[in-house]
């Protein structure tokens, strides 16, 4: 860029000297035409070069808005002057104004010189600021990548004003102050980062929980509702500790979604149970027993209805565990038979479905009311005794 300024000056001097030389009358016109063409071609190359250079100069504005504005103002003037003599090259040697002997070409290169000087100053500031303010630059780039401005516009604007202040300190050569102020900037930026991540991942779940509360889920299923609250608080804590651990954050969000769905389903079951009359209790229990029977029959054609419900569930669970162990053993022995492989896959699918059904039935069993008809009381007593026997074993 410095060489370009020197070349421009040389062209101007050569042109002026050529104009002053005494030449034969026949050659004077030819010399003048050549000089005019050379000057025009030099200006054309300079203009094209600077146009390309300044196309990506917008990133330099943050380092000194004033210097950047000065550079662009001089470039606009140079561009305007260039356009005036572009179509009529002879105009390059005419006076730029009535009150000055400076030609259009000279005025063009004067503005280009200002552009070059200011650009060099901006590039120097960039080298210094990129070194001193690297943490702040990196942090703001990250905030932009997660679109913090969209979620907290006012705080983001205040933070960017603080960010600009850091560059002014660098421009004023107050590097120590810039480093000290940068620490406060990083604290505030980190706080905004945490708030933004919570807004993205946790706030939608808080809204979903609020919707459950409006639907009386907190009333019908307080335990399940509390589990959602605990998971949400865990999510907030995780983000505060590790706001960029997105693997763990997404895993916890998945767990929150699970608890939200679970609380909603439990609330519906409780509501349905409360809406039943005592005369309907037997049908409710028989529905549960029928589902347990389906699982037991699918496993080994065993009818366990002569046992208490919880005993049935426990025995079926043991059979499922045994089936899973059989599957694991089959894989360990690397059975390659297509027929055996198909059976193992079918068994695995069945086991998974049955285990899910067992968990649902256990949840429904937990909803049984304390006050029950006589037939159910004896059933519950049998269940309780069976649990005690299981514990003693």
Q: What is the mean pLDDT of each run of 10 residues along the chain (393 residues)?
A: 45 44 48 65 89 92 96 94 84 78 88 95 96 97 97 97 97 96 97 98 97 93 96 97 96 96 92 83 83 86 86 86 82 59 65 70 64 40 41 41
Provide the pLDDT for residue 172: 95
Q: 95 forms bridges with which residues in the sheet?
A: 103
Whether residues 11 and 67 fall in one domain: yes
Residue in the block written with tokens 């300044």? 54
Q: Distance (Å, rounded) from C-alpha 187 to C-alpha 183?
A: 6
Angle value at C-alpha 228, between 222 and 233, nearest 5 degrees: 125
Residue of 318, 320, 310, 262 whose CA lies nearest to 288: 310
CA 202/CA 254 separation, integer angstroms: 11
Residue 369 CA to residue 270 CA, distance in Å, equals 10
Q: What is the pLDDT of residue 298?
A: 86
| pLDDT tens-digit map of 136-184 | 999 999 999 999 999 999 999 999 999 999 999 999 999 999 999 999 9
Question: Which of 81, 102, 127 marks a domain boundary?
Answer: 127
Same-domain status, 193 and 221? no
**First-last CA distance in the chain:** 90
**Residue 58 to residue 130: CA distance in whole angstroms:** 16
Residues 123 and 6 in one domain: yes
For residue 27, CA distances in Å to 24, 34, 40, 187 come to: 5, 11, 20, 74
Q: Is the domain of 67 the same as that of 180? A: no
Both 160 and 187 in one domain: the answer is yes
Asked if 289 and 269 sit in the same domain, the reply is no
User: Among positive and negative, which fits the CA dihedral 121, 127, 133, 136?
Assistant: positive
Same domain, 142 and 223: no
Look up the domain containing 72 and give its range. 2-127
Of the three residues 274, 307, 323, the one that is the final residue of a domain is 274
The closest alpha carbon to 51, from 6, 23, 94, 83, belongs to 83
Q: Is the dihedral of CA 311, 315, 318, 323 positive or negative?
A: negative
Enter the DSSP assignment of 103. E
Q: Are residues 67 and 113 in the same domain?
A: yes
- The last residue of one of the domains, among 274, 292, 319, is 274
- pLDDT at residue 75 in the model: 96
Going by the DSSP 8-state scheme, the letter that residue 307 receives in this structure is: S
This prediction's pTM: 0.69
- The Cα 166–Cα 130 span in angstroms is 11
Angle between the N-to-C axes of helices 2-20 and 104-132, in degrees from 0 to 180, rounded to the nearest 10? 170
Closest to 363 (Cα-Cα) out of 299, 313, 324: 313
| Counted domains in the chain | 4
Verify that 72 and 12 share a domain, yes or no. yes
For 100, the enclosing helix (H) or strand (E) is strand 100-103
Residues 12 and 117 reside in one and the same domain: yes
Q: How far apart are CA 350 and CA 353, in angstroms?
A: 5
């Amino acid at each position: 860029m410095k060489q370009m300024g020197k070349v421009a000056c040389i062209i101007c001097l050569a042109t002026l000297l050529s104009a002053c030389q005494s030449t034969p009358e026949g050659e004077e016109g030819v010399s003048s035409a050549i000089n005019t063409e050379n000057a025009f071609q030099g200006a054309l190359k300079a203009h094209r070069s600077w146009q390309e250079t300044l196309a990506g100069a917008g990133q330099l504005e943050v380092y000194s808005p004033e210097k950047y504005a000065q550079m662009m103002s001089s470039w606009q003037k140079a561009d305007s002057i260039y356009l005036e003599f572009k179509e009529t090259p002879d105009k390059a040697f005419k006076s730029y104004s009535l009150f000055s002997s400076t030609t259009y070409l000279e005025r063009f290169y004067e503005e280009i010189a200002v552009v070059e000087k200011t650009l060099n100053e901006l590039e120097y500031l960039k080298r210094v600021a990129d070194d001193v303010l690297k943490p702040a630059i990196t942090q703001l780039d990250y905030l932009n990548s997660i679109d913090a401005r969209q979620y907290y516009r006012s705080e983001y604007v205040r933070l960017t004003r603080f960010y600009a202040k850091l560059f002014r300190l660098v421009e004023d050569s107050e590097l120590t102050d810039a480093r000290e102020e940068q620490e406060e900037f990083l604290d505030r930026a980190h706080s905004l980062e945490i708030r933004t991540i919570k807004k993205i991942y946790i706030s939608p779940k808080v809204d979903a929980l609020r919707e459950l509360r409006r639907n009386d889920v907190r009333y019908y299923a307080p335990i399940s509702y509390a589990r959602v609250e605990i998971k949400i608080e865990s999510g907030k804590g995780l983000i505060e500790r590790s706001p960029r651990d997105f693997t763990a954050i997404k895993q916890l969000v998945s767990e929150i979604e699970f608890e939200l769905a679970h609380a909603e389903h439990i609330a519906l079951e409780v509501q349905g149970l409360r809406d039943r009359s005592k005369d309907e209790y037997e049908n409710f229990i028989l529905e549960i027993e029928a589902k347990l029977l389906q699982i037991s029959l699918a496993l080994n054609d065993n009818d366990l209805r002569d046992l208490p419900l919880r005993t049935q569930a426990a025995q079926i669970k043991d059979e499922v565990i045994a089936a899973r162990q059989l599957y694991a053993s089959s894989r360990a022995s690397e059975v390659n038979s297509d027929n055996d492989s198909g059976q193992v896959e079918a068994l695995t699918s069945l086991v998974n479905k049955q285990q899910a059904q067992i968990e649902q039935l256990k949840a429904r069993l937990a909803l049984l009311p304390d006050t029950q008809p006589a037939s159910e009381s004896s059933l519950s007593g049998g269940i309780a005794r069976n649990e005690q026997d299981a514990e003693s074993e």
